[in-house]
Amino acid sequence: MNTFQPLCRLYDLPDHQGKTFAVAGKLIALFRCGDQVHAIDDMCPHMGASLAAGHVEDGIVTCPWHAWRFRLDDGAWADNPRIQIGHYPVRIVGDEVHIQLPTPPQEGTS
């Protein structure tokens, strides 16, 4: 079962900037763009830079090391959408930001 879990308060996220959170052994970058919040894997697959440190513009974050660009709404590489990083559903409950991560399969189940 995939459940939402709270990560932070909405006011903890600066507009058009990223912030990294450790969740279930993963680094997740949250981005607030106006009234929307997006969650993607924080690590750029090219060389491992933190995407939360990247520049955000028009729904795209640009990796601070080598300028790889990823769409915030689906984690696709903007220059080759066949390549994607993880992206996660987000909901706002009151002033809390909640994220939903997939539940890993349990051993012995298929």
- Vertex 48 angle, CA 43 and 52, to 5°: 40
Distance CA 73, CA 106 (A): 29
Task: Divide the 110 residues of the chain into consecutive groups of 10 and give the mean pLDDT of each group.
Answer: 87 95 93 95 94 97 96 96 95 95 64
Q: Which domains does the chain have, with CATH numbers?
A: 4-100 (2.102.10.10)
> Cα–Cα–Cα angle for 19, 98, 104, nearest 5°?
95
For residue 106, the model assigns a pLDDT of 61
* pLDDT of the residue at 107: 63
- Which tokens go with 32? 């607030």
Report if pTM > 0.75.
yes
Could you tell me how far CA 87 lies from the centroid of its own chain?
6
pLDDT number for residue 101: 84
73 phi/psi in degrees, rounded to 5: -80, -25
39, 99 Cβ separation under 8 angstroms = yes
